[in-house]
Structure 1
Amino acid sequence: MKNIIITGTSRGIGFEMVKLFSEAGHNVLALSRNSKPISDLKLKNVTALEFDIADESEIVKLSAFLQTGMKTVAILINNAGYLVNKPFAEISAEEFKKCYDVNVFGVASLMRTVLPFMKKEGHVVNISSMGGIQGSVKFPGLSAYSSSKGAIITLTELLAEEYKETGPSFNVMALGSVQTEMLEEAFPGFKAPLSATEMAQYIMNFSLTGNKFYNGKILQVSSTTP
């Protein structure tokens, strides 16, 4: 039994991961701006907290919760994401910043908060996108989203180097198309070959064992374009 933190758990892949980790007997802290979808399931060993990753005051509250609650964290999965799908000329500065607040700055703040509770054998898994991979196919309207996902890839590589002596391990998974609400927002009408549950299972398995084989690596998890 391991203590797991997952962000972005109100829908899609994050929602499915919480269920899978619970079924496998692990303790899960599910963080999302809307905790109701998980709370309503009444899952064993799951705590659902209302949490806005872009709100620094809530990051502080999380630290207090960890000190009295979990105390140690084996796996942190940064799955929360914010999508802006607009032509570059139409994106406001506020929208661009919001994308980075959730996808980059919020993730960085969360990692700084959780790292003191992780041991050398711990594993941080950051969820990125194929759109953030240099040289991959790019799509109009996703300038804010894909560039923020590229930033989290580089940040993951840097942290793996910085913490290579003390741990934990850091890896990033650049996902291709998965049938989720966010995919529908980015590519209306497109049908992905993978369900949210299938990808959630893959990420769970990797988070539990991948740090034995990888550190500071980018795993491109994609069978289609987009």
Structure 2
Amino acid sequence: MKTILIVGASRGIGLELVPQYLEAGERVIATARDAAGLERLRDLGAQAMKLDVTNPASVSGLSWQLDGEKIDRAYYVAGVFSADDAKSPPTQQAFDAMMHANVLGAMQALPQVAPWVEEARGQFVFITSDFGQIGGVESSRAWVYHVSKAALNMAVVAAQPDYPNAQFLLIHPGWVRTDMGTPDAPLLPEESVAAIRATVAARTTRSTGFSSRDVPYLRWDGTPFSSW
């Protein structure tokens, strides 16, 4: 039985990861920031843990809560989206909220979680986006989101050499039919998550000495992006 940690499991892709891993016979630790989310996770059979990635004090206690664990697979899923474009400047409040949830939250959680992933020689998966690519951008739609995901990608790549006994992965989940993805999205959450799980499992390795050159930037189905 493997231990799976899902940071940001109250809805969407994070929530769908929980039953899929439980049905596969794995132990799941999953986080949510409010009572309703925690109750939902417990009802599914997960070990629920309160965490708000936008609150540094909350994130700072994460390692203490995980003390003694060996995390075979960790997922950082938490994030927010905005479709605003470059025709008007973002407000400081909107920019800070996006960068905090999508970048700072991940950067604060990473050193709290990665040592426990190293204990298991496991994998740390960060849910990113194709919007994080710098090459081939054709529109400013969601430009602050673009910036946040590019920054997340850079943070993960930069951090990998500090944790050589953990494998970091960046995965774009596709356009998924969630609150963030809208009902127009072609992929169902269960389809995206099943493909993500297969992609992550296919990358499983017990090798050591991972470097920034080893961080794959993948689509949900395992195909790599040709450029960053």
Q: Normalising TM by the smaller chain, what interval?
A: 0.7 to 0.9
Contact 1:54–1:102 under 8 Å retained in 2: yes
Quick one: which amino acid aligns to residue 105 of structure 1?
L
Match of 1:95 in 2: 94
Contact 1:161–1:216 under 8 Å retained in 2: no
Unpaired runs of 5+ residues, structure 2, are: 224-228
The CA deviation at 1:150 is 1.0
Match of 1:73 in 2: 71
Q: Measured at CA, do residues 20 and 156 of structure 1 come closer, stay the same or move farther in structure 2, by a change above 3 Å? A: same
The CA deviation at 1:116 is 2.0
Which string of whole-angstrom CA distances, capped at 9 and with x for unpartnered residues, describes residues 55-90 of structure 1? 1111122222111xx622111111111112223425
Q: TM-score, normalised by structure 1?
A: 0.84
Unpaired runs of 5+ residues, structure 1, are: none
Quick one: which amino acid aligns to residue 202 of structure 1?
A
Quick one: which amino acid aligns to residue 85 of structure 1?
A
Match of 1:199 in 2: 192
Superposition CA RMSD, Å? 2.4
Which structure 2 residues correspond to residues 110-129 of structure 1 after superposition, within 5 A? 110-119=109-118, 121-129=121-129
For 2:38 and 2:199, the matched residues in 1 are separated by: 22
SS at match of 1:183: coil
The CA deviation at 1:38 is 5.7
The percentage of aligned residue pairs carrying the same residue is: 26
Quick one: which amino acid aligns to residue 99 of structure 1?
M
Q: TM-score, normalised by structure 2?
A: 0.83
Match of 1:145 in 2: 145
Stretches (4+) displaced over 6 A: none
For 2:109 and 2:186, the matched residues in 1 are separated by: 32
Which structure 2 residues correspond to residues 162-201 of structure 1 after superposition, within 5 A? 162-163=162-163, 166-184=164-182, 191-201=184-194
Contact 1:29–1:48 under 8 Å retained in 2: yes
